[in-house]
Amino acid sequence: MSNMVLSVGSKFPNFNKKAVVSIEKGKEFFDINSDHLFDSGKWTVLFWWPLDFSIVCPTEIIEFDKHNDDFKQRNTVLLGASTDSEYVHLAWRLHHSDLKNLSFPMIADTSKSLADDLGILETQERIAYRATYIIDPQGTIRWVSVYDLSVGRNVNEVIRVLDALQTDELTPCGWKKGEATLSV
């Protein structure tokens, strides 16, 4: 079991997982793997939540979904994940009106192997912390944030950091897309 969070500059681990991509009968599940992602030539934002059928998690999932077009405009694939199974993900989507039509896959890390490889598995309950990874097209982690189980994230900050990373330039504190970058 890993105790250290895999961080900036590390290669994102290889994985092969089931994901829920739809609530349409016969089209619910899809196999998703690291090769598929990193061969696409796109950036990836992968965010984790602790548990399905919880209180804080849907607020974040809904907010990420509202911004999925913003991620697409930035040549970025949005993925969500937890250690719940694909069947739990599907049941949650079927029973939560705001989650029914999500526009991104919900990865099921039922074995907890990916969360463990990333170092984001909470040790007592063995659920994932609220972690967010920005991964470049080569599969290298460029940004990671990990929150306590009780604290929701700011999706606008994830987009701001993605914009800054995609400039490949120096950006000052609080920089936003369209503002001047720094020069040496």
In this structure, the dihedral spanned by the alpha carbons of residues 6, 132, 37 and 181, taken in order and rounded to 10 degrees, is -100
Q: Distance between CA atoms of 61 and 49, rounded to whole angstroms?
A: 8
- 173 tagged catalytic: no
How far apart, in Å, are the Cα atoms of 61 and each of 54, 102, 106, 170? 11, 9, 10, 30
Residue of 20, 57, 121, 161 with catalytic role: 57
Q: Which residues are catalytic?
A: 57
